[in-house]
Structure 1
Amino acid sequence: MAAPKPESDALIVALTESHLNHNIKDAEVTIAGYTSFRTDRTNTIKGGVITYIKDEFVPYTKVILSASISNTEAQVLHIKRLDLTIITIYRPPACTDFKTTLENI
């Protein structure tokens, strides 16, 4: 029996600078076996975060925060079954108000 590939064992994949916007459909960034949670940048281009959760854990996943604040994207997900909270943040180098994002989290 072959050993499983590490990439197929990931429960969560969190990425920053997703560069997605409302013109890009979820189907275009799908990974088989995972559900995506997107926080796209709303006021300028680039930025953004996307988190993929293995499908078997999606029924236990709650979005706590998904926001684009002061050029910073923040996403907070909680997987109750694992008692795990995932925080994914994209803060660009030119961000001048990161404190507001942290206060929202």
Structure 2
Amino acid sequence: MRKNNSEVFAGNLRVSESLKAQLVEALSDLFKATLKNDHAKTCDSLAAIISIAYILGRKLGIDFTTVDYLANQKLQAGIMESDEKDQWYEDMRYLMLYLDDRKRG
């Protein structure tokens, strides 16, 4: 039996709430891992946060390409608003180069 739009929306809403809870849990895990200086758990938590964010966006009707595009736009804006002495400048520039390289290859 085919679900109507309101049933699909309600199902996505429940999934979204679950994903948001998982995102908060992963963020909590990240904080705990960094406090314990646990590199493996820190990496795992960061990967979970990124994965959950992409899936949550998809459930909210935002495709992966849009998330990538907007992340790139935020990086470009951050780079333009800062200067090379800014503590985040080099990280933002490096991430933008990484994402651009990944897109090409």
TM interval, short-chain normalised: under 0.3
Bigger CA radius of gyration:
2
TM-score normalised per structure 1: 0.27
Ranked by relative contact order (alpha carbons within 8 Å, sequence separation 6 or more), the top structure is 1
- Whose helix proportion is higher, 1 or 2? 2
TM-score normalised per structure 2: 0.27
- Whose strand proportion is higher, 1 or 2? 1
